[in-house]
Amino acid sequence: MATITATPRAMHTADPAGAAQPPRSAAGLLQILWLASPALPVGGFSYSEGLEAAVDAGQVIDEASAAGWLQDQLHLGLARADLAVVAQAIPAWRQGDLERIHTLNAWVLQTRETAEFRLQTEQMGRSLLEWARCLGELGAGVFERLQSARLNPASYPVAMACAAASTDAAVRDSLIGFAFGWAENMVQAAIKSVPLGQSAGQRMLARLALEVPAAVDHALTLTDDTRQAFTPLLAIHSARHETQYSRLFRS
């Protein structure tokens, strides 16, 4: 990835063989799709974010209840917290505003409602840093920026914002990618824990995809005074999941 500057460049700006490169908009889109992919080795697939405990408690029992749970989580949780942080962190990374980055990172860490949620964001942040390091010169800009910021530890939303800021993608497109990546992981968690079939999973993902633009647009309107992390039932289930006797997902 290219070094992040006030005028961000795409991750691949030149081909050593001199081959023609995609337009900047296409390159930016491809980079956001890459960051949103469940194949990105940050471990998002290994968490159920309280969903498995909701299944154990009998509150999520089928496709309809799982879809409703995830739609509520998207709008009441992700949009009002992590998406809002990513929306504010991307321009801060591009402007080199480390004070703002530290403030946003501290907010994420301080507002995680359970130990499980706190450990998840720390682990995924570390894994994204390691992913950038393993890319070598292609990820040098992201790795060096995260290292020099000395966040100790970097939360996942802030680390992901750093990677998105290294592209020329619009902030809204980056948020859509972030939200869809979350949706894919959570649908897979529902398929495994309810359990559900792949067709049910695709229907749930289609419903979530329809909801993502509105969730992103809401996140873009939030400020420090209106951003929030308050999902009591989700926190209760996450806390229960930490000691759940039998579970598929990481705690």
Contact 41, 35 (CB under 8 A): no
Rounded CA separation 10/95 (Å): 16
Q: What residues contact residue 153 under an 8 Å CB cut-off, 6+ apart?
A: 109, 122, 125, 126
Indicate the domain borders of the chain.
25-36+49-242
Could you give the angle at the alpha carbon of 9 between the alpha carbons of 137 and 23, nearest 5°? 110
Residues of the chain where predicted confidence (pLDDT) is lower than 50: 1-18
Contact 167, 11 (CB under 8 A): yes
Rounded CA separation 66/187 (Å): 9
Q: Tell me, what's the pLDDT at 10?
A: 39
Contact 78, 102 (CB under 8 A): no
User: Which helix (H) or strand (E) element contains residue 186?
Assistant: helix 171-193
DSSP state of 3: P
In which residue are the tokens 């080199």 written? 96
Q: Tell me, what's the pLDDT at 24?
A: 57
User: Which helix (H) or strand (E) element contains residue 107?
Assistant: helix 98-111
Contact 183, 74 (CB under 8 A): yes
Smallest CA-to-CA distance from 170 within 1, 32, 11, 23 is with: 32
What the block records as the tokens of 138 is: 């292609």
- Report the CATH fold assignment for 25-36+49-242: Urease accessory protein UreF (1.10.4190)
pLDDT digits (tens, 9 = 90+) for 52-77: 999 999 999 999 999 999 999 999 99
Smallest CA-to-CA distance from 167 within 206, 139, 191 is with: 139
Q: What residues contact residue 73 under an 8 Å CB cut-off, 6+ apart?
A: 49, 186, 231, 234
Smallest CA-to-CA distance from 104 within 160, 37, 173, 26 is with: 160
What the block records as the tokens of 16 is: 């050593």
Q: Tell me, what's the pLDDT at 26?
A: 85
